């Protein structure tokens, strides 16, 4: 058990583009465990990305299994994740461990197809929808140096310009 320190905005390391993971070794497993412990220590966090603890590699954890009545894939370790398909748009409210005491509205794709490796290097494909898809997009944004602050839309109006969601 090793909880790591979470970097908070405006720490410039949150803006880095993370590097692809190439070695699936014990160091990676140990790091993922630390990331897990850090997320579990947060206030009800359902996801975390490696750069949030200052390690700029393409690794995230998504776990929305504590939410009732939604479709999800349970606890997921996503290494080198890639969103290969997007469909639909929805506005939702997001917060971030790296931006304490603030939540804001963000537009995300409703449904995504995601390809990723797990922590052992095995390839998986996931069809995600709704809440889980939103969390995955938020975490993957971290790997490209993007925070939800970069995607805020009006707090006061549901209507927004239609834009195609791109990474």
Partner 1 sequence: MLTLVGNDQPGIVAKITNGLLNANCNLGEASMMRLGGNFTVMLMINSEHPSEDIRKAMQSTCDDMSLTLHIDQIRGRLHQHHIPDVRVVVSGSDRAGIVAQVSQLLFDAGMDILDLNSDVAGTNEAPIYIMQIEGLATQGIDSIEKAIDSLPKNIDVSVHPIETFVG
Catalytic residue among 20, 132, 139, 161: 139
Which two structure tokens, joined as six digits, stand for 60? 């995230």
Question: With b meaning 16 or more CB within 10 Å and e meaning fewer, what string describes 25-43?
Answer: eeebeebbebbbebbeeee
- Residue of 1, 74, 158, 162 interacting with partner 1 (CB under 8 A): 158
**Listed ranges 7-15, 25-33, 118-126, 129-137: which one lies at the site for partner 1 (CB under 8 A):** 129-137
Which two structure tokens, joined as six digits, stand for 107? 């537009």
74 binds partner 1 (CB under 8 A): no
Q: What are phi and psi of 25, to 5 degrees?
A: -120, -170
56 binds partner 1 (CB under 8 A): no
Q: How far is the CB of 128 from partner 1 (least distance, A)?
A: 14
Q: What are phi and psi of 142, to 5 degrees?
A: -55, -35
27 binds partner 1 (CB under 8 A): no
The backbone region for 27, taken as left when phi is positive above 0, alpha when psi lies in -120 to 50, beta otherwise, is: alpha
- Residue of 95, 121, 144, 165 interacting with partner 1 (CB under 8 A): 95
Three-state SS at 61: strand
Q: Which is nearer to partner 1, 12 or 157 (CB)?
A: 157
List of residues contacting partner 1 (CB under 8 A)? 42-49, 62, 64, 67, 92-97, 101-103, 131, 134-135, 138-139, 155-158
């Amino acid at each position: 058990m090793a909880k790591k320190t979470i970097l908070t905005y405006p720490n410039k390391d949150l803006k880095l583009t993370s590097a692809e993971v190439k070695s699936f070794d014990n160091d990676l497993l140990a790091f993922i465990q630390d990331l897990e412990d850090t997320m579990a220590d947060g206030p009800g966090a359902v996801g975390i990305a490696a750069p949030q603890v200052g390690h700029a590699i393409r690794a995230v954890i998504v776990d929305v299994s504590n939410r009732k009545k939604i479709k999800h894939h349970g606890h997921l370790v996503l290494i080198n994740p890639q969103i290969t398909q997007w469909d639909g748009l929805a506005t939702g409210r997001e917060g971030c461990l790296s931006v304490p005491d603030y939540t804001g509205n963000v537009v995300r794709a409703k449904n995504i197809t995601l390809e990723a490796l797990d922590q052992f290097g095995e390839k998986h494909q996931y069809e995600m929808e709704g809440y889980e898809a939103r969390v995955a997009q938020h975490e993957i944004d971290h790997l490209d140096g993007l925070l939800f602050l970069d995607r805020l839309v009006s707090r006061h109006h549901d209507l927004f310009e239609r834009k195609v969601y791109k990474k």
